[in-house]
Structure 1
Amino acid sequence: MPFALVESLDHEGRGVAHDEGKAIFIEGALPGEQVEYSSYRKKRNFEQATCVQIFKPSALRVTPRCEFFGVCGGCSMQHLEVSAQVAAKQRVMENAFWHIARVKPDVVLPPIYGPAWGYRDRARIGVRVVPETGAVLVGFHEKKSSFIADMSSCEVLPRHISALLLPLRALIAGLSVPDRISQIDVCAGSDHSVLMLRNQTSLTAQDEASLLAFGATHGLRMWLQPGGPETAHPVRKGEEAYLHYTLPEFGLSLRFRPTDFTQVNVHINRLLIRRAMQLLDPQSGERIADLFCGLGNFSLPIAARGAMVVGVEGLASLTQRASENAALNGLSECSEFRVANLFEATEKSLAKLGPLDKLLIDPPRDGAMAVCNALGKQAPRRIVYVSCNPATLARDAAILIKEKGYRLCSAGVANMFPQTSHVESIALFERV
């Protein structure tokens, strides 16, 4: 088998080496290590490989805490010390800015850290009945596979949820239709946690009784989702249909349903909002738009700082939730929420929002290219861009800087998903 000296990490946490100019992406290898590798995919310009043996381990290599690391596909960086993980993510962000947009931020912001384990308050766990044995598996997908990993614990889930992986096997196995349960959504709020089963057929009264007994035993609320998000409901009739999370720094409590999008890491979300408010600096009398606003995660802190906020989101269910949260927090007078497809934004559609002093953008992985292209002469003087994809952030930064007259003042990362290669970042743009 071939050998290589690993030079760096790529955006997926793989070691990068070169052989006669050809890039080799080696899973499980770290920069500075001399490794033996085995390629499983070969192309003309690159190869993808797995690390077979390490001859010179990195000083930053650590023993993975999870015994299923390498089999389960949920984490890819447990073998790298946490602060080094964050440094690698910062390099991914900076490299994206430079290689895609040919720009560098004036200031690289200090990274935002949080708990490295047990942080994941939201997760989608797969369920599979093994045809040969009838055994039930409950867990994340195996690495590069559609199969469910045979796992009994998870180090990134909260401890009380991790402890349920084996009991959930028994629960599903005891239902009348175990093979019709496709997955379980974990959703934790500040007041209680929900387990929502995706049931592809109706359950019996005895099945529902089993679910309720399981929830009572483990201090959980049990939900079912037989179809689309609108079909999700508590098993216990008349039970509260909302969870809540709090933003203590802003005196806010936001409610949501298990099917609504919320950040998986509550601690980092609070710190990221603090950073966003520091960069945006909302002031009384200002009018600020929050695009891709969701249920008001950034909108309401903006309003709480005294500015008038206009939130825009593509899903009517989320704008309704944002309006409800504004009312619950006494912020209806300084906030409004509208439904619009921001992926089809035009200069005319953005103008309908009215004059704006500042703008916050928090798009999904596809980014906000249409919004950036639609900014006209009356565009806001300051933009804070929260991103979950460095590549689309850099692409949109190129538009803002080279076509719209903005400067990339600062940017930094937030470790929203420790032990994974996911990069969350935030950037400040100001018009020159």
Structure 2
Amino acid sequence: MGGWVGALAVGIGKMGVLSFLLEVVMAVARVERLDDKGRGVARVEGKVVFIEGALPEELVRFSVVEEKRRFARAQLMEVMAPSALRVVPPCPLYVRCGGCDLQHLQVSEQRAYKQSQWLAQLARLGGVVPERVGAPLFGEAWEYRYRARLAVVDGVMGFRTRGGHDVVAVLDCLVLTQALRGVLPEVALVVAQIGGCVEVELHAGDEGVAVGLRLAQGVDVVAVARRVEAMAIEGVAWWLALGRGDFYPLAGVLDEQMAKTAFLLRYGLLQKALEIEFSPNDFTQVNREVNRLMVEKVIELLALEAGDEVVDFFCGLGNFSLPLAYLGTQVVAVEGVESMTRKLKRQARMLGLSKRVRVECVDLFKPSREAIRRWGQVDKWLLDPPRAGAKALIEKMGRERPSRVVYVSCNPATLARDAGLLVARGYVLQEALMMDMFVQTAHIECVAVFELGG
């Protein structure tokens, strides 16, 4: 059947357009497995076809939407023989909305799929197999998201369509926490009325909600601020940003002195013994429950002893640094974004932890060998890099290096690559585990523990 799209010009000359499309573009296949994006994978005449929404063992009818030399992307048209693992997605927008991609698969099977997927990538891309696979960390399947970003097109707020750029209007979302679900309709109404908004960020703290409105360049920010102020929503703190700039509190836009007293959100750790402040400009984990479990697990995996010191790379606001310091550990907190280091210093000071947290601002994608040697004298490292991973940091390791490295990853592919680099430098992957931070999606996060010399 090869060359579905490429053969179109030839086919049209031999038969009517409709019959040609039905015969050539439409096809039937048995799905073999899921890929790393949660798509069904089938083979038709030797070519791999990725079918979004299809599950393993299903017999499906599909339509090709893009064909390359070695693979094709297809749209699921009909499930002719459904899997026993298939469920009816509870969200009425699921067919079109691109926010979730696994609602049609039982939650327990989503986790089984993710478990096998990241282990396979670890072995295939990094050539590494952990000595022990730990129990996965997971929380609730619904109402778990404390943060979300929505697009706005022509005053309509929502998520992008599946595989497209249009917007699906969203007035409710089953994966958002109850606090965010409750304000969605009113926020959508404000966005529709003010004009000039191109993106909305929703942030929930343990108490309170902040909504960030990103405005198009050239929009009169003060005029928008006054319109938003007139449409206040109880329990919502408004923030505004122009273009790709930072968010500023609404009161601060109207009165510069008020910016210093902006309402900040908070989330608790260590059974809420410790509270961390944040604003819409700061990165925080989407899943508050799994984040809490992750912090506790990482502290356990560091195997801390009296007098231990930890270097926390890519430390951000101190999601790990502050709990470690609170528990008595000396921490070197390293972050490449200067604004984040300033906020971390401030929070450490407010919490009375300044003597236990030494903050350094260093570009960790271009670390100096002198800095690597200095950090190498600390016996335990914690890595929590962005999706790009920590390749530069690991490659510059010298003779002085930590005995234990705990690596928190949001990208199994770069974790696999970096695991291979660490093993080549004498480390053994002692334990690794999966975290289901984004339920109903194919996104996977992991924690891995490396011990020097076994």
TM over 0.5: yes
Which residue does the alignment assign to 1:225? 241
> For the structure 1 residues 326 and 354, does the alpha-carbon distance in structure 2 shift closer, same or farther, using more than 3 Å as the test?
farther
Q: Secondary structure at the match of 2:447?
A: strand
> CA contact under 8 A between 1:346 and 1:371: conserved in structure 2?
no
Q: Secondary structure at the match of 2:203?
A: strand
Percent identity between the aligned chains? 39
TM-score relative to the length of structure 1: 0.93
> For the structure 1 residues 342 and 166, does the alpha-carbon distance in structure 2 shift closer, same or farther, using more than 3 Å as the test?
same
Q: Deviations over 1:56-81 (max 9, x none)?
A: 21111111111110211111011011
> CA contact under 8 A between 1:226 and 1:232: conserved in structure 2?
no
Which residue does the alignment assign to 1:16? 41
**Pick aligned residue for 2:386 from 360, 364, 384:** 364
Q: Secondary structure at the match of 2:365?
A: helix
Which residue does the alignment assign to 2:402? 380
> CA contact under 8 A between 1:283 and 1:306: conserved in structure 2?
no
Q: Secondary structure at the match of 2:169?
A: coil
Q: Deviations over 1:380-427 (max 9, x none)?
A: 01001000000000000010002x100111111111111111111111
Cα distance in 2 for partners of 1:258, 1:169 equals 18
1:349 to partner: Cα distance: 2.4
* Range that drifts further, 295-304 or 387-396: 295-304
Residue correspondences, number: 420
Which residue does the alignment assign to 2:421? 399
**Pick aligned residue for 2:64 from 29, 34, 39:** 39
Cα distance in 1 for partners of 2:323, 2:186 equals 39
**Pick aligned residue for 1:127 from 130, 135, 152:** 152
Letter in 2 for 1:187: H
Cα distance in 2 for partners of 1:230, 1:167 equals 24
Which residue does the alignment assign to 1:191? 207
Cα distance in 1 for partners of 2:165, 2:106 equals 29
1:28-427 equivalences in 2 (<5 Å): 28-129=53-154, 136-175=155-194, 178=195, 180-200=196-216, 201-203=219-221, 207-215=224-232, 217-230=233-246, 232-235=248-251, 237=255, 238=258, 239-249=261-271, 251-353=273-375, 355-402=377-424, 404-427=425-448
> For the structure 1 residues 21 and 107, does the alpha-carbon distance in structure 2 shift closer, same or farther, using more than 3 Å as the test?
farther
> CA contact under 8 A between 2:247 and 2:281: conserved in structure 1?
no
1:231 to partner: Cα distance: 5.2
Cα distance in 1 for partners of 2:370, 2:95 equals 50
Which residue does the alignment assign to 2:23? none
Q: Secondary structure at the match of 2:164?
A: coil
Letter in 2 for 1:50: Q
Q: Secondary structure at the match of 2:124?
A: helix
> CA contact under 8 A between 2:179 and 2:209: conserved in structure 1?
no
Letter in 2 for 1:22: K
1:229 to partner: Cα distance: 4.4
Q: Secondary structure at the match of 1:278?
A: helix
> For the structure 1 residues 174 and 366, does the alpha-carbon distance in structure 2 shift closer, same or farther, using more than 3 Å as the test?
same
Letter in 1 for 2:32: E
Q: Secondary structure at the match of 1:174?
A: helix
> CA contact under 8 A between 2:313 and 2:385: conserved in structure 1?
yes
Q: Structure 1: which 5+ runs fail to align?
A: 130-135
* Range that drifts further, 281-290 or 415-424: 281-290
> CA contact under 8 A between 1:78 and 1:420: conserved in structure 2?
yes
> CA contact under 8 A between 1:101 and 1:397: conserved in structure 2?
yes
* Range that drifts further, 230-239 or 12-21: 230-239
Cα distance in 2 for partners of 1:317, 1:266 equals 23
1:373 to partner: Cα distance: 0.6
1:346 to partner: Cα distance: 4.1
1:218 to partner: Cα distance: 3.4
1:163 to partner: Cα distance: 4.2
Which residue does the alignment assign to 1:132? none
1:334 to partner: Cα distance: 1.1
> For the structure 1 residues 5 and 246, does the alpha-carbon distance in structure 2 shift closer, same or farther, using more than 3 Å as the test?
same
> CA contact under 8 A between 1:319 and 1:337: conserved in structure 2?
yes
1:210 to partner: Cα distance: 4.2
Letter in 2 for 1:146: H
1:303 to partner: Cα distance: 1.7
> CA contact under 8 A between 2:376 and 2:402: conserved in structure 1?
no
> CA contact under 8 A between 2:406 and 2:450: conserved in structure 1?
yes
> For the structure 1 residues 231 and 60, does the alpha-carbon distance in structure 2 shift closer, same or farther, using more than 3 Å as the test?
closer
Pick the structure with greater CA Rg: 2
Q: Deviations over 1:258-292 (max 9, x none)?
A: 10111111111001111111111223311210000
Letter in 2 for 1:19: V
Cα distance in 2 for partners of 1:354, 1:371 equals 11
> CA contact under 8 A between 2:335 and 2:361: conserved in structure 1?
yes
> CA contact under 8 A between 1:17 and 1:25: conserved in structure 2?
yes
* Range that drifts further, 230-239 or 295-304: 230-239
Aligned-CA RMSD value: 1.8
Q: Secondary structure at the match of 1:235?
A: helix
> CA contact under 8 A between 1:70 and 1:76: conserved in structure 2?
no
Q: Secondary structure at the match of 1:64?
A: coil
Cα distance in 1 for partners of 2:297, 2:188 equals 41
Q: Secondary structure at the match of 1:272?
A: helix
> CA contact under 8 A between 1:93 and 1:390: conserved in structure 2?
yes
Cα distance in 1 for partners of 2:181, 2:207 equals 18
Q: Secondary structure at the match of 2:170?
A: coil
TM-score relative to the length of structure 2: 0.88
